[in-house]
């Protein structure tokens, strides 16, 4: 089971990546807006943050800003503590970037930044963390006279290996001073959202760290992992005697508890609106009298949260712990008199509910409006649909009105509507209601027969181009071969770096709500836990192979949870898999036969806009859960296939592919016969013939002459064509390109006798020799074989310095001017030793032909 697909449970807490789109732009406020904090009465001061996630878009700017702010507030800080998930995946490049940002900061240069590991950093292992950071992963430090303990989440979330170190450190610590414990995962059922995101602290075992902490009330355990908003007063917890704090995130996105919906899509979501607005941290002041004062810092707004309400408590063993479950709101929020609910965009199964925001009872943190409850009551049977949505309490500029999409309603049903505002401590406002009941439309009508909205068949387009036109991105180096059993081209993925990503849209997923079908024809090559096809991040769907088995599951996130029918597949054999959802059941078929079915209701939760073959997607569109497998075809359909439809799809998949028919269209490549060194040399690919009805073109061509051109080449589609995808494969003496173009002009415009499709630009090196460009294969439309013009299928370009007349290493106008200086010179003349540099055609004379060739070569360069 994957961590990212189950909120509760110890394995579920191993990692945290949300269903977020790519990171949005983030701008920091002016650092000068922060005032330097005084040191009077302060024994030690720390800044604490977590989840910097270097490698995610925007993280660099957020982390650099945080370090600048910390220095602005206190240049003499005793430490900056980063509590895990320093990087997005633990790669060397991410560590290098992290350390560069730290070392370029004032506090980092002073050696004040202390780092501990999170589950994301475990992707690179403990050795990489220690070698890249120069710090131990688990250790006990004395910073400003305060004991700081760093813990390591072995296996991704298990901290029990540090039990002996922690126990010894607590036994030796001053009982009148606080002890800060850095543990990336929260302790279960303590601070805000740790009921869903938590680590393994050995509860109930002989290495129970929670029982150990209860013996030492001076412990301040600070975690990240959840990314939850620090404005919520429940972010500090002291019910068990010690202090547990979740400190949000510096570099990633906000994510809170489940049970809410996204106001825009109406889908289940753990993310507050505009979740990438996030960047938060703590200022921890240990006072000389043993008191601890903790200030919450909003690094996006450039201010403290509830500055007049720092968390204050005795840091020693004997003081009271006031932040417990006994906290309450002083009063409930309220809506202004006359406030009403309105409704728009009513369909058969959804509507958008609009309402003014409520007023908090006071400005106190405990009275903060955390969420709104929207209740729709079926007037016929009094059944209720309740949707909850986060307030935007984490923003200074809050909304005066909210709009929330409500989905999964019944068609032709009348609902009454009310809205309530609720605090973190469940103080509920007076309700406001819609003045009129609302009746939904006719309801959802499924598509039949199922229609493919994503269609990749390697027999038709052996580079994996999607017939539906979704943009492809290549990860690693997937290879392609002709499978003799199937008599068709298939893709081979190595289970490590290979994957094909396709960019999807909200419009795509809107067609996959209550009825959809996913088809995969593949061969598993090992039994590791992997995804041959998927787009899941607590959402979406995927095919997942359970580790150590041949069991394949069809994961579909419907109605707030995953439904996972499964089947045993044959290893190292071709398996035709179909997963379906029809609004009532999620089913999985193998080779045309139904194998398992799981009841389900509701809609599929919209996943990240990235669909992978050969793996699954992170929230930011990176490859993970790579599969060592071969894939012949993969499709996603709007609408549900019946058992009969699945059988037909299976028969079509296993039927050997016929050789493509040929067309009268011919294709050629042209380019210069000669080129200078360091020149930008163009090659033009063209269609010749009647190209009426042209939709797509798939070109395969080689560039050979390794060492004669640089690794950087550029492709530019001609007018009317669009570059859909490209793949480069290394050859022994060059590189092979697979390029797919789409054609968008009308038939009348497509009738041109000679139609340029593509320009390839090659930059030559300083060597002399030959570059050869050879057109290998061309398929048009649905795999129809075009004719390659035998006489114009290859270009041989001689590369030398013969065009560099002035000897400056470049081909430019100065060379043409130099040649003109020697115009009409010929072999035997007194100046021939110098003049022969302008004799580019080497016929023993500098004449008009030489100037023409120079001019042509120059135009090729520019």
Residue pair 691/751 in contact by the 8 Å Cβ criterion? yes
The answer to the question of residue 247 being in a domain is: yes
160 contacts 201 by C-beta, under 8 angstroms: yes
Is position 205 within any domain?
yes
Residue 341 DSSP class = B
462 and 434 in a common domain: no
As separate numbers, helices (DSSP H) first and strands (DSSP E) second, the chain gives 11, 52
Residue 112 located in a structural domain: yes
**Same-domain check for residues 600 and 478:** yes
Q: What CATH number did the domain enclosing 164 receive?
A: 3.60.21.10
pLDDT (0 to 100) of residue 31 = 59
First to last CA, the chain: 56
Coil, helix or strand at residue 816: helix
What percent helix, strand, coil does the chain show, rounded to 5? 15, 40, 45
Would residue 334 count as lying in a domain?
Answer: no
CATH of residue 568: 2.60.120.200
Burial of 815 (0-12, 13-18, 19+ CB in 10 A): buried
For tokens 């390029």, the residue is 739
Neighbour tally for 24: CB within 10 Å? 13
Q: Are residues 640 and 684 in the same domain?
A: no
- Domain for residue 322, yes or no? no
d(CA 843, CA 29): 69
pLDDT at 21: 38
Q: Does residue 104 sit within a domain?
A: yes
Domain boundary among 439, 466, 481: 439
Quick one: pLDDT at residue 695? 78
Query: Where a domain ends, among 654, 671, 688?
Result: 654
Beta strands in 690-844 (DSSP E): 696-704, 709-717, 721-731, 734-743, 754-764, 769-780, 784-788, 794-800
Any domain includes 32: no
**pLDDT value for 22:** 41
Same domain, 56 and 123: yes
Query: What pLDDT sits at residue 691?
Result: 67
Residue 716 · residue 759 · CB < 8 Å: yes
Same domain assignment for residues 646 and 667:
no
- Site of tokens 């993969």: 634
| CA distance linking residue 278 with residue 281, whole number of Å | 10
Question: How many structural domains are present in the chain?
Answer: 5
Q: Which residues of the chain are modeled with pLDDT < 50? A: 1-23, 748, 750-751
Per the confidence metrics, is the pTM higher than 0.75?
no
Tell me the C-alpha distance between 594 and 272, whole Å.
40
Sign of CA dihedral 536, 542, 545, 551: positive
CATH number of the domain residue 837 falls in: 1.10.1330
Lookup result for tokens 């005795």: 314
CATH of the domain at 401: 2.60.40.10
Number of neighbouring beta carbons within 10 Å of residue 337: 7
pLDDT of residue 102: 97
Shared domain check, 187 and 52: yes
Are 107 and 150 within one domain?
Answer: yes
Give yes or no for a contact between 346 and 440, defined as CB atoms under 8 angstroms apart.
yes
Q: Give the residue among 435, 395, 384, 54 at the shortest CA–CA distance from 249.
A: 54
Would you state the pLDDT for residue 338?
95
Q: Collapse the DSSP code of 211 into the 3-class scheme (helix H, G, I; strand E, B; otherwise coil) and give the result.
A: helix
The C-alpha atoms of residue 114 and residue 133 are separated, in whole angstroms, by 9
| Distance (Å, whole) CA 456 – CA 520 | 10
Tell me the pLDDT tens digit for each residue of 361-404: 999 999 999 999 999 999 999 999 999 999 999 998 899 999 99
Q: What is the pLDDT of residue 692?
A: 66
Within a domain: residue 21?
Answer: no
- 642 plus 667 within the same structural domain: no
With both helix axes pointing from N to C terminus, report the angle between 92-104 and 125-133 in degrees, rounded to the nearest 10. Answer: 30
Task: Report d(CA 224, CA 491) in Å as an integer.
Answer: 40
Distance CA 547, CA 535 (A): 19
The residue whose two tokens read 């007049």 is: 308
Domain span holding position 148: 43-314
- Can you tell me whether residue 440 is helix, strand or coil? coil
3-state SS of 359-408? ECCCCCHHHCEEEEEEEEEECCCCCEEEEEEECCCCCCCCCCEEEEEECC
Residue of 735, 748, 745, 744 lying closest to 776 (CA atoms): 735
- Kindly state whether residues 648 and 677 are assigned to the same domain: no
Tell me which of 439, 474, 505 is where a domain ends: 439
Residues 135 and 155 in one domain: yes
Give CA–CA dist 23/608, Å, rounded: 12
Contact 279, 56 (CB under 8 A): no
What the block records as the tokens of 489 is: 């081209």
- Domain co-membership, 684 together with 707: yes
Query: Are 275 and 253 contacting, i.e. CB atoms less than 8 angstroms apart?
Result: yes
DSSP code string of 520-552: EEEEE-S-SSEEEEE--SSSSEEEEEPTTS-EE
Is the same domain home to 588 and 544?
yes
């Amino acid at each position: 089971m994957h961590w990212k697909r189950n909120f509760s449970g110890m394995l579920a807490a191993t990692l945290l990546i949300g269903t977020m789109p790519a990171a949005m732009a983030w701008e920091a406020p002016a650092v000068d807006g922060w005032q330097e904090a005084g040191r009077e009465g302060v024994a030690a001061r720390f800044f604490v943050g977590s989840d910097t996630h270097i490698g995610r878009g925007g993280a660099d700017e957020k982390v650099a800003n945080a370090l600048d702010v910390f220095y602005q507030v206190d240049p003499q800080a005793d430490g900056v503590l980063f509590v895990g998930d320093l990087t997005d995946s633990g790669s060397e490049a991410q560590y290098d970037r992290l350390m560069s940002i730290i070392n370029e900061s004032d506090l980092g240069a002073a050696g004040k930044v202390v780092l501990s590991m999170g589950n994301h950093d475990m992707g690179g292992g403990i050795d990489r963390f220690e070698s890249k950071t120069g710090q131990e992963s688990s250790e006990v430090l004395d910073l400003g006279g305060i004991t700081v303990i760093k813990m390591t989440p072995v296996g991704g979330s298990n901290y029990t290996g540090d039990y002996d170190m922690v126990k010894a450190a607590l036994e030796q610590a001053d009982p009148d001073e606080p002890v800060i414990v850095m543990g990336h995962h929260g302790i279960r059922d303590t601070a805000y959202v740790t009921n869903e995101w938590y680590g393994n602290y050995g509860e109930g075992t002989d290495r129970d760290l929670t029982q150990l902490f209860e013996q030492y009330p001076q412990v301040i355990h600070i975690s990240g992992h959840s990314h939850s908003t620090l404005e919520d007063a429940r972010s500090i917890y002291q019910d068990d005697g010690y202090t547990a704090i979740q400190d949000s995130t510096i570099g990633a996105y906000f994510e809170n508890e489940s049970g809410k919906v996204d106001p825009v899509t109406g889908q289940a979501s753990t993310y507050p609106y505009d979740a990438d607005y996030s960047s938060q941290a703590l200022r921890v002041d240990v006072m000389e009298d043993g008191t601890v004062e903790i200030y919450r810092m909003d690094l996006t707004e450039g201010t403290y949260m509830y500055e007049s309400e720092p968390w204050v408590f005795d840091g020693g063993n004997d003081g009271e712990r006031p932040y417990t479950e006994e906290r309450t709101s002083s009063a409930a929020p309220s809506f202004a008199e006359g406030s009403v609910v309105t409704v728009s965009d009513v369909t058969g199964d959804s509507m958008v509910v609009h309402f003014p925001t409520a007023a908090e009872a006071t400005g106190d943190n405990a009275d903060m409006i955390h969420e709104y409850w929207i209740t729709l009551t079926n007037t016929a049977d009094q059944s209720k649909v309740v949707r909850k949505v986060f307030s935007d309490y984490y923003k200074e500029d809050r909304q005066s009105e909210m709009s929330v999409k409500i989905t999964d309603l019944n068609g032709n049903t009348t609902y009454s509507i009310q809205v309530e505002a609720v605090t973190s401590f469940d103080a509920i406002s007076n309700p406001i209601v819609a003045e009129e009941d609302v009746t939904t439309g006719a309801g959802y009508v499924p598509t039949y027969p199922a229609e493919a909205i994503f269609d990749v068949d390697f027999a038709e387009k052996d580079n994996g181009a999607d017939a539906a036109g979704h943009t492809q991105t290549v990860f690693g180096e997937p290879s392609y071969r002709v499978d003799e059993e199937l008599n068709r081209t298939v893709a081979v993925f190595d289970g490590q770096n290979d994957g094909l990503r396709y960019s999807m849209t909200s419009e795509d997923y809107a067609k996959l709500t209550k009825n959809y079908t996913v088809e995969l024809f593949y061969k598993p090559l090992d039994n590791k836990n992997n995804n041959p096809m998927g787009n899941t991040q607590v959402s979406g769907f995927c095919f997942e192979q359970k580790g150590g088995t041949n069991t394949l599951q069809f994961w579909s996130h419907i109605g707030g949870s995953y439904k996972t029918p499964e089947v045993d597949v044959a290893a190292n054999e071709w398996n035709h898999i179909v997963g379906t959802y029809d609004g009532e059941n999620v089913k999985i078929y193998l080779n045309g036969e139904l194998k398992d079915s799981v009841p389900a209701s509701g809609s599929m939760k919209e996943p990240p806009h990235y669909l992978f073959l050969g793996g699954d997607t992170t929230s930011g569109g990176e490859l993970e859960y790579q599969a060592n497998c071969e894939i012949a075809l993969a499709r996603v359909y709007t609408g549900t296939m019946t058992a009969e439809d699945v059988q037909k799809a299976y028969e079509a998949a296993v039927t050997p592919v016929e050789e493509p028919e040929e067309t009268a269209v011919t294709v050629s490549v042209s380019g210069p016969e000669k080129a200078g060194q360091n020149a930008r040399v163009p090659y033009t690919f063209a269609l010749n013939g009647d190209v009426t009805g042209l939709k797509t073109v798939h070109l395969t061509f080689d560039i050979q002459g390794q060492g004669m051109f640089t690794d950087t080449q550029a492709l530019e589609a001609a007018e009317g064509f669009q570059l859909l995808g490209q793949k480069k494969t290394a050859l022994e003496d060059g590189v092979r390109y697979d390029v797919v173009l789409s054609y968008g002009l009308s038939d009348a415009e497509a009738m041109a006798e000679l139609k340029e499709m593509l320009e390839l630009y090659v930059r030559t090196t300083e060597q002399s020799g030959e570059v050869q460009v050879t057109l290998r294969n061309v398929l048009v439309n649905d795999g129809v074989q075009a004719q390659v013009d035998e006489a114009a299928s290859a270009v041989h370009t001689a590369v030398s310095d013969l065009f560099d007349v002035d000897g400056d290493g470049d081909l430019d106008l100065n060379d043409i001017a130099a040649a003109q200086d020697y115009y009409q010179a010929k072999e035997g003349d007194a100046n021939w030793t110098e003049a022969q540099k302008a004799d580019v055609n080497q016929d023993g004379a500098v004449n008009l032909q030489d100037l023409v060739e120079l001019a042509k070569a120059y135009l090729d360069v520019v």
